[in-house]
Every structure is written in C-alpha cells, then in structure tokens.
Amino acid sequence: MKIGFMCAGQGAQAVGMGADLYASSPAAKAVFDEADIVLKRGVARMCFDGPMEDLTASAHCQPAIYTMTAACLAALLERVDIKPVICGGLSLGEFAAAYAAGVFPFSDGLTLVAKRGELMGEACRRSDGGMAAVLNADPRLVETICAETGIDVANFNCPGQIVISGRKDGVEKAVQSLKDSGVSKVIVLQVDGAFHSRLMAPAAEAFTPLLAGVSFADPVCALVQNVTGASVHSAAEIRENLAAQVTGSVRWEDCLRTMLDTGVEALVELGPGKVLNGFMKRVDRRFPVYNVADTASLAETVEALKGSV
C-alpha cells in the first residue's frame, strides 16, 4: 500500500500529549530525550505536564508539537516498516513532514522550529492581530473582502473552511462584511496573533537567514508544501517555501489534493489530535485515513496497516 504522512500543526497541542508513548515506546522516548538535550530545557515535561497556558505560547508550542510528531513517527516505524510516498504538514507541521522525508535531521528541525516559535511569538506581541474562521463561503468573496479590509487569507484548510488573519480592526471589518454578504458562520478565533499574514513579516525576515544556515537534503519522497499546494523534490525549493510560509497562505486543501494525485492509498496523521483527518474527510469522505497520537491510536493504525506495507 502507498502510504502518505500528514503532520499536525500549531493548535493541536494538549497537556499530556506523548506521555503514554514515552512510557511504552523506546523509540518515542528517545525522541523526547533528544529534544530535551538539544534545547537544554524540558520539552518532554512541557508536553506531559503543561500548563496549557505555557504550552500554547508559540515559543513552547512549536518545538513541543514538532517533537511530539516525531515521537509518533518513531513509535509507528518501530512497529511497521513504512516508506512514505509523500509527506505534508499543516503550517508548523511542514517541518515535521520535511524531517519525515529526510530533508534534515531531527535536531536541526527542532532548532529551527524553536527559533521560529520565538520569532513568531515576538511578532505577535508587537502587533495587534487576530484571526477568524470562515465557514461555507465562496473563496473568491473571502479574498475580495480581505483585500478591501487590508488583511490576509491565512488558511484554505478544506472545502468550506477558510481562515483570515490580520490586524484586529481589519478582521472585525472583514467579519462584518462577510456577514453582510450573506456568510452565516464566521468565528473569531482565540489566538495570540495574526499567523500567516503580513504582520508576521518581521519573523519571516529574521527566520530566513537561519534557514540558510542549515543543511537541507533533497527529500527521499515527495514533499507537499503549504505556500504552493504542490509537491517539491529539491532542497532549494523546500528552503525557499519554508521561508515564504511564515507570511504566506496555507493551501492545505490543495496539499491534500496533490497527495491524492500521487496515487497514495492511505494517509496517516502524526501528532496530537485528528484535525487533518477531518479536513481529508471534507475532501473525500471515503478515503482511508489513520492517525498516531497515543498508544491506542498507534495500535489501531498498526493493525489496519499490517500486511499492507
């Protein structure tokens, strides 16, 4: 069976994530232990014990979710020999996807996401940003209203779900314009700032030279990237797209369709939660999707894939 990996993004975090995998999987434990050594802080303790307020902060959340996702991957590969045909991740998850595709070692990716989280958190504190989820609206209408109100489209997640991002006053104007245009459901999100918008430009500017300082390899399988929604096969493209991703739109629906176009026969979501499985179901409800987030979901996924890979 041709398998693809999907990696969770920021917002999927939960206190306690990874604790049972740490206790039951030597491979997952090794990932958490390495993270603590690389960053010289308690990444594992933050995942297991929180508190949620600290775990939600970008500076802690991004390395925590990256580590958790890599631990889920390690626990899966400990049980089943899978060589993915394509990998992809939502926003932050793109770094874990690149690691899974052999672009850089775990430690290099961890160092990058830790710095990315710090820079994005700083950009949030310096700007008065907000985000809102727009449900069941025409994407062209959303883009037009964002342009008129001076904000950006942050995410095209799946059919029927778009996220907008920018200065709070601009988001408020856009929300009202969308409602006036007949969009019945717009939800203002409780977030620290305006991710994937022009307000993240200072973070992108500081992050780009850090990417240049890390050695990237060509991926061993296709890697689908957020800013284009297409798969790439060269280290240079991957580095460029990761830099652009900080301020660019996450075209996750396009990423999912690109994965399907490769002939992949099942997708496995790695990391906390099952948000990406839900997005995939909105694209194709019948397509087989699995996840690894804890020992129970690991066992279910291993059983489902046994004999197929």
Query: What residues act catalytically?
Result: 91, 196
Q: Whole-angstrom Cα distance, residue 107 to residue 219?
A: 17
Cis peptide before 51 (omega within 30 of 0): yes
Please, what is the angle between helix 26-39 and helix 106-126, to 10°?
Answer: 60
How many residues appear in the chain?
Answer: 309
Q: Which distant-in-sequence residues (6+ apart) come within 8 Å of 106 by Cβ?
A: 31, 34, 70, 99
Please, what is the angle between helix 252-261 and helix 275-283, to 10°?
Answer: 70
Q: Whole-angstrom Cα distance, residue 50 to residue 71?
A: 18
Cβ atoms 291, 4 nearer than 8 A: no
The DSSP symbol for 11 reads: T
Q: Whole-angstrom Cα distance, residue 7 to residue 87?
A: 8
Cβ atoms 28, 22 nearer than 8 A: yes
